[in-house]
Amino acid sequence: MLRRAFIGLVSLGFLLTLGGCMVNETKPLPKVNAIQATTQIPQDELLDVGVHEFDVNITAEQLKDTDKLAKQRVYPDIRKAESRFIPAMLRSTLESSGQWGAVRVVPTNVEFVDVSVSGRILESTGAKLALEITVTDSTGRVWINKKKYESPADTGSYKTDASLRARDPFQNVYSQIANDMVAARNALLVENRRDIRRVTELRFAQDLAPKAMDGYVVKDPKGMMTIARLPAQDDPYATRIERIRERDVAVVDTVNGYYANFSDSMKDSYGSWRRSSFDEIEKESRDRNKARTRTILGAAAVLASVFVPGQCASTDYNCRRIENAARTAGAIGGTAAVLSGLKKYSDAKVHAQALKELSETFQSEVQPQVVDVEGRTLKLTGTADEQYKEWRELLHQLYLEETGGTSSVAVPAAAPGTSPATTAAPASPSAEPAESHAPVHVAVEKPDSGTPVRP
């Protein structure tokens, strides 16, 4: 009976050995590419897309125990950088497909865009990327509802620095999202697509001038935004609002440039970190498999040497000496195998620590960038929402001054030694808006550089 158990343990160990080999065998993934536009899309159906910063998916409670997060391969600073980098990669994929109008990465509080993409990072290591994606349009229609996209890394991207620059290891994820968005758009009627653009414009106008533009867009019983009526072509309010919207688009473009600069500056170091992360994860997994196999086989050998009954006759001293020597060798060999397995567990921990150190090194490389908008300096490290909120307040103020209204919005004070951002004298509602407004100046300071670079 014990002999059968021994044989069973050895067989199990052998199977585990084979299983360990198969687990670590990786092959390049089949490539998924974004569907390219084959015909020119009419201008009134060409939808703009805003990709918001992604949710890092780390709670305040989890942040209190960074060691526990590190064991889960979650590093807060890197995850924050990824919340901007991943949307930038998705933006590039959407833009290169030719299926959309302007595609921008925008702060979370940018509302008035034809199609909005938001996401949450479920898992992100050098070996796997998993995202939860939601896509809606300005009418409130949901295109994609919290769908999970995930993929292992394409190991072909990790072969050389050139291949890593040529194709992101998780490009399949971005391409699949892009293709699902195209499918959702194509499922709409032509009139639906045109209405999306109109609703975006009217919602912007209604937010800026709620009294003047009231009643143009209403909610239906399902909560969808529908067009009740359209302003006349020569409506002076609509004309003013359109000019102000052009300025708003210029600021959104500037912020999008920040995200582009940020992703470009971190791309090489982040790609190297991902590749090293993948290698460390593979080594750790391999060592754990080896440790488990060696421990089981070693324990089986020790048990067999101790408990398997003797086969020699009591009078056959030579046979018994050989048997005892075999038992001793089995016990020594089994013990060595167990110790070897324990050492492999120790090696796995070393690789995990190396991964943590690599992450900390990368965190120190990704420095914040500074953006200056109309004399106001903003450190863009997760506060782009606040910057855009301030800009929206200034737009409301600008509209009120151009139409002769009285401001009810608290405009941030100008920097010492400068004049306020908006000082135009009130005009009558029928007067044309002044054209001499200060332009938007944005300087982006790259990491480790004191020289501002204009995007």
**pLDDT tens-digit map of 226-274:** 998 888 877 777 788 888 888 788 878 878 887 888 788 788 888 888 8
Per-residue confidence (pLDDT) for residue 239, from 0 to 100: 81
Question: How far is residue 426 CA from its own chain's centroid?
Answer: 45
Can you tell me the distance from the alpha carbon of 177 to that of 193, in angstroms, rounded to the nearest whole number? 19
Q: Does 419 score more than 70 pLDDT?
A: no
Q: Is residue 221 very low, low, confident or very high in pLDDT (cuts 50, 70, 90)?
A: confident
Mean local confidence (pLDDT), 63-76? 87
Q: Is residue 49 very low, low, confident or very high in pLDDT (cuts 50, 70, 90)?
A: very high
Per the model's pLDDT, the better-predicted residue between 210 and 50 turns out to be 50
Per the model's pLDDT, the better-predicted residue between 65 and 240 turns out to be 65
The Cα angle at residue 361 between residues 355 and 366, in degrees rounded to 5 = 125
Q: Does 2 score more than 60 pLDDT?
A: no
Tell me the Ramachandran region of residue 54: left when phi exceeds 0, alpha when psi lies from -120 to 50, beta otherwise.
beta
Q: What is the mean pLDDT of the chain?
A: 73
Per-residue confidence (pLDDT) for residue 275, from 0 to 100: 86
Mean local confidence (pLDDT), 421-440? 37
Q: Does 344 score more than 90 pLDDT?
A: no
Spatial neighbors of 190 by CB under 8 A, at least 6 apart, are 45
Q: Is residue 403 very low, low, confident or very high in pLDDT (cuts 50, 70, 90)?
A: low
Per-residue confidence (pLDDT) for residue 243, from 0 to 100: 82
Per-residue confidence (pLDDT) for residue 299, from 0 to 100: 55
Per-residue confidence (pLDDT) for residue 70, from 0 to 100: 84
Question: How far is residue 255 CA from its own chain's centroid?
Answer: 17
Q: Is residue 332 very low, low, confident or very high in pLDDT (cuts 50, 70, 90)?
A: low
The Cα angle at residue 327 between residues 322 and 331, in degrees rounded to 5 = 145
Q: Is residue 372 very low, low, confident or very high in pLDDT (cuts 50, 70, 90)?
A: low
Q: Does 202 score more than 80 pLDDT?
A: yes
Per-residue confidence (pLDDT) for residue 297, from 0 to 100: 55
Does the model's pTM come out above 0.95? no
Name the residue among 214, 235, 264 with its Cα closest to residue 455: 264
Per-residue confidence (pLDDT) for residue 444, from 0 to 100: 41
Per-residue confidence (pLDDT) for residue 29, from 0 to 100: 83
Q: What percent of the chain has pLDDT over 90?
A: 29
Q: Does 168 score more than 90 pLDDT?
A: yes
Per-residue confidence (pLDDT) for residue 379, from 0 to 100: 56
Can you tell me the distance from the alpha carbon of 137 to that of 205, in angstroms, rounded to the nearest whole number? 17
**pLDDT digits 0-9 by tens, 105-121:** 998 888 899 999 999 99
Per the model's pLDDT, the better-predicted residue between 226 and 322 turns out to be 226
- Please count the other Cβ atoms lying within 10 Å of the Cβ belonging to residue 276: 18
Task: Pick from 173-182, 300-309, 367-376 the range whose average pLDDT is largest.
Answer: 173-182
Mean local confidence (pLDDT), 413-442? 38
Determine contact, residues 331/305, Cβ cutoff 8 Å: yes
Per-residue confidence (pLDDT) for residue 87, from 0 to 100: 96
**What DSSP element (H or E) covers 288?**
helix 236-307
Per the model's pLDDT, the better-predicted residue between 259 and 365 turns out to be 259
CA distances from 452 to 63, 256, 261, 364, 441 (A): 33, 17, 12, 21, 12
Q: Does 1 score more than 80 pLDDT?
A: no
Mean local confidence (pLDDT), 414-420? 39
Q: Does 428 score more than 80 pLDDT?
A: no
Per-residue confidence (pLDDT) for residue 76, from 0 to 100: 86
Choice among 49-63, 166-180, 232-246, 282-296 with the minimum mean pLDDT:
282-296
Can you tell me the distance from the alpha carbon of 247 to that of 91, in angstroms, rounded to the nearest whole number? 22
Q: Is residue 98 very low, low, confident or very high in pLDDT (cuts 50, 70, 90)?
A: very high
Mean local confidence (pLDDT), 20-36? 70
